[in-house]
């Protein structure tokens, strides 16, 4: 899943460093930056980003950057962006926690902190979706008469419906090992070896499928659950219980790093 973000920091060099770090992750989409309280507030209200990287101990006190910005957001927004504090002072963390910020990152920023942040965001989204999951209809025929009534399910797996000329094919998302682009269609490969074609682009599936589905190549989205091996030297990952090897590209290397990091954070023993 992708997350749009804004950086609010009075130090322009710090803004550039934060953006450079975030740009190495395909999940993070930059919108804009601001150097003071008022401009930052205006940007958030105008663009409603999902994330805000906020400095709360500015070098220039005239910028008025502080945790007070969060209170101001609640005056105008029904859904407040997730706030990630970026600062040099660890002693401000306790106060920031009182404002229920999403994360507190100490400068100079390190890559691993961004890896952990994205994992945390993905996990939070997955837990939210597990509480209320809706079926997704992938219509292979013209949508001219297709109507979809939203029905909320609690604690049920995501079901994809591949619909084509009156034929409704239901797929449990947990059974999908990976998806492969084929021009303007997508081949859905199931864990049992079966393959189903849907007449939607891989980009479409990237937008509707969230974790554990991760884009690793222009032609592939993989279900992280079915990865049994990752070979960085050969830039391939292996699909569990098969001989299938999927390539991953340099542009999606950050996503592979996320997968490796997540494995190491679980019940894990490295030998």
Q: What is the mean pLDDT of each run of 10 residues along the chain (271 residues)?
A: 93 94 91 95 95 95 93 90 94 87 93 90 76 58 46 63 85 94 93 92 87 91 94 93 93 86 80 81
Q: Where are the domains of the chain?
A: 3-130, 132-264
Residue 166 CB burial class (10 angstroms; 0-12, 13-18, ≥19): exposed
111 torsion bin: left (phi>0), alpha (psi -120 to 50), beta (else): alpha
The whole-angstrom separation of Cα 115 and Cα 122 is 11
| pTM of the predicted structure, to 2 decimals | 0.54
| 132-264: CATH number | 2.40.50.1020
- The class (CATH top level) of 3-130 is alpha beta
Neighbours of 134 (CB within 10 A): 14
Q: What is the pLDDT of residue 55?
A: 97
């Amino acid at each position: 899943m992708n997350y749009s973000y804004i950086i609010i920091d009075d130090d322009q060099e710090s803004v550039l460093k934060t953006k450079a770090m975030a740009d190495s992750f395909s999940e993070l989409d930059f919108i804009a930056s601001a150097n003071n309280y008022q401009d930052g507030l205006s940007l958030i209200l105008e663009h409603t980003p999902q994330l805000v990287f906020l400095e709360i101990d500015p070098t220039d006190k005239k910028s008025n950057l502080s945790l007070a910005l969060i209170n101001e957001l609640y005056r105008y927004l029904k859904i407040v962006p997730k706030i990630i504090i970026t600062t040099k002072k660890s002693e401000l963390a306790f106060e920031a926690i009182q404002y229920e910020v999403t994360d507190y990152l100490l400068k100079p920023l390190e890559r691993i902190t961004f890896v952990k942040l994205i994992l945390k965001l993905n996990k939070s989204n997955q837990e939210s979706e597990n509480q209320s999951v809706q079926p997704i209809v992938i219509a292979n025929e013209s949508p001219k008469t297709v109507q979809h009534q939203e029905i909320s399910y609690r604690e049920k797996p995501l079901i994809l419906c591949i619909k084509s000329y009156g034929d409704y094919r239901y797929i449990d998302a947990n059974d999908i090992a990976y998806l492969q682009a084929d021009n303007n269609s997508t081949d859905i490969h199931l864990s049992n070896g079966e393959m189903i074609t849907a007449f939607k682009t891989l980009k479409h599936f990237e937008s509707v499928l969230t974790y554990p589905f991760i884009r690793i190549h222009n032609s592939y989205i993989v279900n992280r659950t079915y990865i049994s091996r990752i070979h960085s030297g050969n830039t391939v990952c292996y699909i569990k219980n098969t001989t299938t090897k999927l390539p991953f590209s340099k542009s999606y290397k950050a996503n592979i790093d996320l997968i490796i990091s997540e494995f190491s954070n679980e019940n894990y023993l490295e030998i």
